[in-house]
Amino acid sequence: MSPEQVLRISVVIPTYNSESLLESCLDGLLEQDFDLGRFEVVVSDDGSTDGTSDLASDFARRFESRGGTLTYTRNERGGASAARNAGIRAACGEIIAFTDSDCVPKRGWLKAIDRHLKEYPEHLGVGGPTTSEPEKITPFTHQVENDFEYGFPTCNVAYRRDVLIRVGMFEESFPYPGCRFLGTPDNEDWDITFKVKTLGEIGFSRDAVVTHPPRPTTMRKLITRTRNLESEFYLYERHPSLYRESVHKHPLRVLLYHRAIVQPVLKTFRFRKFAISDPLVFIKLLVLLKLQSAYIFLLTPYLLIRHLRRRKTSGPWRLED
């Protein structure tokens, strides 16, 4: 590939058994108002057993017919961070943009990323709003909604490739109990944000919008996913100063106050309409919130012990020379 042909943006999409969701994501990228010759798509498959590879092959032909490029890479099952790192290694662009297979980038997403990083060459990355579909949200759906200019979930963020390489890319060792079963790791996005912030500023473009449609989930998954709160301690261990500045003073306050007390109150208030429109769902929500809070209080001593043991053998993350 000659210097004139170097791709400016590579869109990396980690995926695992998300064939039905991935199609909408790739459709959204195919319809971007951005020159198809100036970006590529890298589908990083984390060992799917469904038809993801066939879907990627079909879209690769569609992209090629319109002058674009889609690359499919398959990895052993290792989690979202490992899949993103494999995607970075396979990518050719100087800018690496991330979204997830259950998201749909709005039409102007790539143009906004490109424009922002040209207007602010000192910025090492850029994020944007992640919206959902409010009318479809229920107490038992999963969705991402983010409009904060200091938080950069990996479903909608782009970083300069050389910066990602310098900070060691995504951390793959977060202690998510049961993550291979749950498939929902937490805080790897905050970790990469903190690592990049040690080198410089990350911007925010309100025109770089990604939609994360609500997805049905189960009470069991919502309860067991609570175990992933161990990642709060691990994030604090790796970035104590930035954690206190951006998240809270200590993970214990996040777990025992915000997650076990404040969030249940907020969720009850948010979904209060179900008390009239669907009382059974509202009752299930109240039961779920009680079980989640109880689980957090029972789990916290175990997580705290593991945290104290780790602190004896490891220190904060540091940028290698």
Confidence of residue 176 (pLDDT cuts 50, 70, 90): low
Partners of 211 in the beta sheet?
Answer: 104, 131
pLDDT band at 77 (very low <50, low <70, confident <90, very high): confident
pLDDT for 79 equals 87
pLDDT of 210 above 70? yes
**For residues 170-199, average pLDDT:** 73
Burial 37-76 (b: 16+ CB within 10 A, else e): ebbbbbbbbbebeeebeebbeebbeebeeeebbbbbbebe
Taking the alpha carbons of 91, 95, 100, 104 in that order, is the dihedral positive or negative?
A: negative
Per-residue pLDDT, 177: 41
For residue 178, pLDDT beyond 70 = no
pLDDT in tens, 145-161: 999 888 899 999 999 99
Q: How far apart are CA 26 and CA 136, in angstroms?
A: 22
With 0-12 CB in 10 A as exposed, 13-18 as middle and 19+ as buried, what is 303? buried
Average pLDDT in the chain: 91
**pLDDT grade for 223, boundaries at 50, 70 and 90:** confident
Strand pairing report for 141-142 and 215-216: antiparallel
Contacts (Cβ under 8 Å, ≥6 apart) of 54:
none
Domain regions of the chain by residue span: 1-216, 218-321
Fold of 1-216: Spore Coat Polysaccharide Biosynthesis Protein SpsA; Chain A (3.90.550)
What pTM, to 2 d.p., does this model score?
A: 0.92
Would you tell me how many other CB atoms lie within 10 Å of the CB of residue 299?
A: 16
